[in-house]
Amino acid sequence: MKGIVLVSGGMDSLVTAAIADQECDEIYFLHVNYGQSTLDKELNCFYKLEKHYQPKDTLIADIDYLGQIGGSSLTDSSMEITDHDSSEGIPSSYVPFRNANFLSIAASWAEVIKAERIYIGAVEEDSSGYPDCRQSFFQAFEKAINLGTKDTTVIKICTPVIKMNKAEIIRKGLELKAPLQHSWSCYRREDKACGTCDSCVLRINAFKKAGIPDPIPYAINIDWQK
């Protein structure tokens, strides 16, 4: 069975790739450059993960339009990437309907190479509250894929980490020997993780909860025992 994995370079998609690697006979990696602020670093991590997992084939899709559309601090340089805020609500880093754009690319590719599965490392709980990370969205999108492609094309969207919290994802990654040192989560910096943006704070707390230090460098001192 062939599976396409959406690999961003982040931790959730890395662990998803590790799971797909176990479940599929052949894996294919899809990476999307969409004008995100840490594009180069993510692509760099992607290449390391590609080298590690040796997928059968790789597609790097360059899309500029999410930057043209804006509406997110990740793609619009005029918007500030704010510090983590534990209050409810959708953060400014939400990229409008991003996952649908990624899944559409994956489904187009899947139909051509006859892949039966698309893996995406979305996390519903313990995440940032992005609406395109909800299980109900993926179910609806899977239905749309199967109605909008050839009748002989049957594709399943797999979200193996969607119900996990970040600490469980880290433990799963360790169990599967996923190279966590080659993942990047920071929204702000590419040399060292800032340690204070939404994505960094979620990652740091998760490593603390999992009881191990994060192998990537941070710009601030972090006490991993706390």
Interface residue with a copy of itself, options 98, 117, 166, 188 (CB under 8 A)? 98
* Binding track over 112-131 against a copy of itself, x by CB under 8 A: x------------------x
Cα 208 from chain centre? 21
* CB nearer to a copy of itself: pick between 37 and 183: 37
Residue with tokens 């979200």: 159
Q: Which of 80, 98, 123 is nearest to 34 (CA)?
A: 98
Structure tokens at 112: 């051509």
Select from 10-18, 63-71, 176-184, 203-211 the region that touches a copy of itself (CB under 8 A): 63-71
CA 53 – CA 11 distance, rounded (Å): 15
Interface residue with a copy of itself, options 22, 77, 108, 181 (CB under 8 A)? 108
> Binding to a copy of itself by residue 99, rule CB under 8 A?
yes
* Binding track over 20-39 against a copy of itself, x by CB under 8 A: --------------------
Interface residue with a copy of itself, options 18, 49, 74, 105 (CB under 8 A)? 105
Residue type, 119: Y
> Binding to a copy of itself by residue 219, rule CB under 8 A?
no
Let me know the angle formed at the C-alpha of 141 by 136 and 145, rounded to the nearest 5 degrees: 155
Least distance (Å) between residue 63 CB and a copy of itself: 6
Structure tokens at 149: 């492609």
Q: Which of 136, 143, 59, 73 is nearest to 102 (CA)?
A: 59
Q: Which of 53, 163, 64 is nearest to 30 (CA)?
A: 53
Chain residues in the site for a copy of itself (CB under 8 A): 59, 61-66, 68-71, 90, 94-101, 103-105, 107-109, 111-112, 131-132, 134, 136-137, 140-141, 143-145, 147-151
